């Protein structure tokens, strides 16, 4: 009964494809927590989440379940709400990425905002990568779209990623969740209607790729 309506929309065969998929989600903040919730409710049962941050009061404007777990490690707190996930409290660095085995996963979902780690992740596993770029500083979720990293518009963070990839002579491609809305401020303000919608868009794209 839990997944009846999802199966009605997608069909039993498509549902089984992502129900049995193995997904790695890096970062469970404003984007990643909504992506996790969407994956879990949709019926993906093998999800590994990795994040080393703890919840603090400033997270409560945009991050799932943050208000009831202040001070706790995010991945461990989220396991209370999504008990089937594999929770790994690790700091995601270029060195960690180099050592980690991504091969078992069907998709790698990148919801981190550290530039060095993001670039290392892209270079190591771009064929199975979906990446979130600039979700902060924006107000309009209707301007969210899916684009190649080489074809985003209005996103200074994505432009920096492209420039660094060119310096590294990276010639691959991957899909990213981005927005055509220009940043409204210089500071890193955020709005849950946008950050949450980035996470939902990432989940949707992940499921569509799997089926």
pLDDT at 20: 92
Question: Quick one: three-class SS letters along the chain?
Answer: CCCHHHHHHHCHHHHHHHHCCEEEEECCCCCHHHHHHHHHHHCCCEEEEECCCECCHHHHHCCCCHHHCCCCEHHHHHHHHCCCCEEECCCCCHHHHHHCCCCCCCEEEECCCCHHHHHHHHHHHHHHEEEECCCCCCCCHHHEEEEEHHHCCCCHHHHHHHHHHHHCCCCCCCEEEEECCCCCCCCCCCCHHHHHHHHHHHHHHHHHHHC
Rounded Cα distance, 72 and 149, in Å: 34
Over residues 41-100, the pLDDT tens digits come to 999 999 999 999 999 998 888 988 999 999 999 999 999 999 999 999 999 999 999 999
Q: Which domains does the chain have, with CATH numbers?
A: 4-210 (3.40.50.720)
pLDDT at 186: 87
Which of the four pLDDT bands, split at 50, 70 and 90, describes residue 101?
very high
Over residues 157-202, the pLDDT tens digits come to 999 999 999 999 999 999 999 999 999 998 889 999 999 999 999 9
Over residues 3-18, the pLDDT tens digits come to 999 999 999 999 999 8
Rounded Cα distance, 72 and 60, in Å: 13
Residue 129 has pLDDT above 90, yes or no: yes
Distance between terminal CA atoms of the chain? 21
Which of the four pLDDT bands, split at 50, 70 and 90, describes residue 2?
confident
């Amino acid at each position: 009964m839990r997944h009846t309506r999802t199966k009605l929309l997608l069909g039993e065969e498509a549902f089984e494809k992502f129900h049995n998929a193995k997904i790695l989600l890096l970062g469970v903040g404003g984007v990643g927590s909504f992506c996790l919730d969407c994956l879990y409710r949709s019926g993906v049962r093998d999800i590994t989440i990795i994040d080393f941050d703890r919840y603090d009061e400033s997270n409560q404007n945009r991050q799932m379940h943050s208000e009831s777990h202040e001070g706790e490690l995010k991945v461990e707190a989220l396991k209370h709400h999504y008990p089937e996930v594999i929770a790994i409290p690790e700091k995601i660095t270029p060195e960690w990425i180099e050592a980690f085995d991504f091969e078992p996963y069907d998709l790698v979902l990148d919801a981190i905002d550290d530039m060095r780690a993001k670039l290392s992740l892209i270079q190591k596993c771009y064929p199975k990568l979906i990446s979130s770029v600039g979700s902060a500083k924006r107000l309009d979720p209707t301007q969210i779209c899916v684009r190649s990293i080489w074809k985003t518009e209005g996103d200074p963070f994505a432009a920096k990623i492209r420039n660094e990839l060119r310096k590294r002579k990276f010639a691959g491609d991957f899909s990213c969740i981005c927005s055509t809305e220009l940043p409204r401020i210089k500071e890193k303000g955020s709005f849950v209607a946008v950050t949450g919608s980035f996470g939902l868009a990432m989940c949707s794209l992940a499921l569509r790729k799997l089926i």
